[in-house]
A and B are shown apart, each in its own frame.
Chain A
Amino acid sequence: MSSVRATQSVVAELVGIRKSFGDVEVLHGVDLTVRQGEHVVIFGPSGSGKSTLLRSMNLLEEPDEGSVKIHGVEYGPGLPGTKAPRGKTLELRRSVGMVFQQFNLFPHLTALHNISLPLRAVRKMSRADAEGRAIAALDAVGLAGWAAHFPSQLSGGQQQRVAIARALSIDPQVMLFDEPTSALDPELVGEVLAVMRKLAETGMTMVIVTHELNFAREIGDLNVFMEEGAIVERGGRDLFENCAHPRTRSFIGSVL
Chain B
Amino acid sequence: MNKGISGVNFHWALIWENRDLFWHGLLVAISVSFFALVLSVLIGMVLALARLSRQPFSFMAAAYINVFRGIPALVSVIWVYFGWSLLLGHNFTVFQAGVIALTLLYSAFLSEIFRAAIVAIPKGQRESGLALGMTNFRIFRSIILPQALKIALPNVGSMFIGMVKDTSTFTVIGLTEVVRVTQNVNSVTFQPFVLYTAAAMIYVVVAFVLDFIFRTFERVLATPSTGKMARAITHNRQQRLTTLISQYKPSIVAQVASAGDSQDKPTLRG
Contact = CB atoms under 8 A, between A and B. Distances in A.
Contacts of A112: 241, 244-245
Interface stretch (A73-81, A144-152, A207-215, A243-251): A144-152
A202 B270 CA distance: 8
B138 A194 contact: no
A131 B133 contact: no
Given A139-B269, A148-B238, A155 B133 contact: no
Q: Is the interface of A mostly helix, strand, loop or mixed?
A: helix
Contacts of A125: none
A83 B253 CA distance: 56
B232 interface: no
Interface in A49-97: 58, 60, 90-91, 93-94, 96-97
B127 A104 contact: yes
Contacts of B242: 148
Interface in A152-191: 152-153, 155, 157, 161, 163, 166-167, 170, 191
B264 A118 contact: no
A122 B125 contact: no
A32 interface: no
Nearest to A163: B128
Interface string A109-135: 110100001100110000000011001
Interface residues of B, number: 42
Contacts of A106: 125, 128, 143, 147
B131 A97 contact: yes
Interface residues of A, number: 55
A10 interface: no
Interface string B142-155: 11001100100000
B127 A60 contact: yes
A143 interface: yes
A252 interface: no
Nearest to B224: A150
Interface of A: 58, 60, 90-91, 93-94, 96-98, 100, 102, 104-110, 112, 117-118, 121-122, 131-132, 135-136, 139-148, 150-153, 155, 157, 161, 163, 166-167, 170, 191-192, 194-195, 198-199, 202
28 contacts: A90-B133, A93-B132, A94-B132, A96-B131, A98-B131, A106-B125, A107-B147, A108-B146, A108-B147, A108-B221, A108-B223, A112-B244, A118-B132, A118-B134, A135-B244, A136-B248, A139-B249, A141-B266, A141-B268, A142-B268, A146-B264, A148-B238, A150-B223, A151-B223, A152-B223, A155-B261, A155-B262, A198-B268
